[in-house]
């Protein structure tokens, strides 16, 4: 029987004018929503906030993590190794996808259309965003994956192949060319496979960046959020 997992904490940055859209930002393994928020705010040189977009920074459940020899860590799901060649742990990934789907449903219940919700994440958080966007919540506005990858024969690829032509959300990827934990090639391979599967995706290589977020990336990320969630009624959403 699987352990009952619960999100550790959820930080919400409310829209400063009116809540018309929602952005989820998911942290990497061993981190927290608070750490992710602080990192982005420092790079942004002020708190990241939008007039019409609420930002949600959840913290992953604490659970045993195989790459740390089973030690407890704040991770979205377990995996056999930090490698794209190992099989995904389907039950672990599906369990957190169900939990995050409930969080997304709460935004919809509060009156935010699913087409005005975006998912984004760094490293493991980026991988979870991909699973959610292309397996569980394919009607969202878009997905941003930073410094991440999908395993070979990922459940995401399988789901896209079996989606019967349903329109999928666009994807923006960022990846450091000098990433020492998740090699750029892994992110590039993910991008190429998704593109072959007809996902509307764009990969932005970041020169001289390791496994990290950088200021230019956050600037482009912010602009992308505004462009994706804007509409004729709210051009600066």
Per-residue confidence in pLDDT tens, the chain, 237 aa: 356 788 888 999 999 999 999 999 999 999 999 999 999 999 999 999 999 999 999 999 999 999 999 999 999 999 999 999 999 999 999 999 999 999 999 999 999 999 999 999 999 999 999 999 999 999 999 999 999 999 999 999 999 999 877 889 999 999 999 999 999 999 999 999 999 999 999 999 999 999 999 999 999 999 999 999 975 445 454
> What residues contact 80, with CB distance under 8 A and at least 6 apart?
66, 67, 86, 87, 89
Give the pLDDT confidence score for residue 81 in this predicted structure: 93
Give the pLDDT confidence score for residue 54 in this predicted structure: 97
Give the pLDDT confidence score for residue 5 in this predicted structure: 81
Measured CA to CA, the distance from residue 196 to residue 17 in angstroms comes to 40
Residues carrying an active site annotation:
123, 179, 211
Give the pLDDT confidence score for residue 3 in this predicted structure: 63
Rg of the chain on CA atoms, in Å: 17
Give the pLDDT confidence score for residue 34 in this predicted structure: 97
Give the pLDDT confidence score for residue 165 in this predicted structure: 76
Tokens for 191? 């991008």
Cβ contacts of 217-221, under 8 Å, gap ≥ 24: 217/43, 217/146, 217/174, 218/40, 218/43, 218/44, 218/48, 220/174, 221/120, 221/144, 221/146, 221/172, 221/174
CA 136 to chain centroid: 13
Is the whole-model pTM more than 0.75? yes
């Amino acid at each position: 029987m699987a352990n009952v997992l619960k999100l550790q904490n959820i930080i919400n940055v409310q829209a400063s004018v009116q809540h018309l859209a929602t952005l989820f930002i998911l942290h990497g393994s061993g981190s927290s929503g608070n750490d992710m928020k602080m990192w982005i705010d420092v790079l942004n040189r002020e708190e990241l906030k939008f007039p019409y977009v609420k930002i949600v920074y959840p913290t992953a459940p604490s659970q045993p993590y195989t790459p740390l020899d089973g030690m407890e860590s704040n991770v979205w799901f377990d995996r056999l190794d930090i490698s794209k060649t190992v099989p995904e742990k389907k039950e672990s990934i599906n369990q957190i996808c169900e939990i995050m789907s409930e969080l997304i449903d709460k935004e919809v219940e509060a009156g935010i259309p699913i087409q005005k919700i975006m998912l984004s994440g760094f490293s493991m958080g980026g991988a979870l965003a991909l699973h959610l966007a292309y397996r569980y919540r394919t009607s969202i506005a878009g997905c941003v994956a930073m410094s991440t990858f999908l395993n070979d024969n990922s459940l995401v690829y399988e789901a896209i192949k079996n989606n019967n032509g349903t329109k999928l959300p666009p994807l923006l990827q960022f990846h450091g060319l000098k990433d020492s934990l998740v090699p750029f090639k892994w992110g590039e391979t993910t991008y190429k496979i998704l593109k072959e599967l007809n996902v509307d995706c764009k990969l932005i290589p970041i020169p001289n960046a390791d496994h990290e977020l950088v200021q230019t990336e956050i600037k482009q990320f912010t602009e992308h959020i505004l462009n994706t969630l804007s509409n004729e009624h709210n051009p600066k959403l």
